[in-house]
C-alpha cells in the first residue's frame, strides 16, 4: 500500500508540474497574471504534497501500531501455550504417579 501511495504521489506531482509548464507555454498572459497563477498553482501543489505526506505518516504509524499489536498477540499466545504444556505435563505426571 505504501508503494502505491508513493507512486501515486510521485505521479500526481509530476503531472502537476508538467501541466503547469504546458499551461504557461500554451496560454501566455501578462507577466503579473502568469506569476499570480503560478504562485497559486504552486501553493496548491504544496498543500496537496503536505496532505500526502501527512497521509503517509499516518499510514506508517498505523503499520507500526498494527505490528506492535500483532507482536503482543503472538507473545500472549506463546505464554498461554507454555502454560497449557506445563499443565499437561503436570497432569501426566499425576496420572503416572497415581497409576504406579
Q: For the segment 9-65, what is each residue's pLDDT rounded down to a tens digit?
A: 788 888 888 887 777 677 666 767 767 777 788 888 888 888 888 888 887 777 777
Alpha carbon separation from 47 to 43, 44, 50, 51, 56 (Å, rounded)? 6, 5, 5, 6, 14
pTM, full prediction: 0.40
Residue 24 · residue 34 · CB < 8 Å: yes
Amino acid at each position: 500500500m505504501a508503494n502505491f501511495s508513493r507512486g501515486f504521489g510521485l505521479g500526481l506531482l509530476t503531472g502537476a508540474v508538467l501541466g503547469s509548464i504546458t499551461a504557461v507555454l500554451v496560454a501566455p498572459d501578462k507577466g503579473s497574471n502568469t506569476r499570480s497563477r503560478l504562485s497559486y498553482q504552486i501553493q496548491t501543489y504544496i498543500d496537496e504534497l503536505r496532505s500526502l505526506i501527512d497521509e503517509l505518516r499516518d499510514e506508517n504509524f498505523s503499520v507500526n501500531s498494527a505490528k506492535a499489536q500483532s507482536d503482543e498477540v503472538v507473545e500472549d499466545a506463546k505464554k498461554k501455550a507454555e502454560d497449557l504444556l506445563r499443565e499437561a505435563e503436570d497432569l501426566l505426571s499425576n496420572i503416572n504417579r497415581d497409576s504406579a
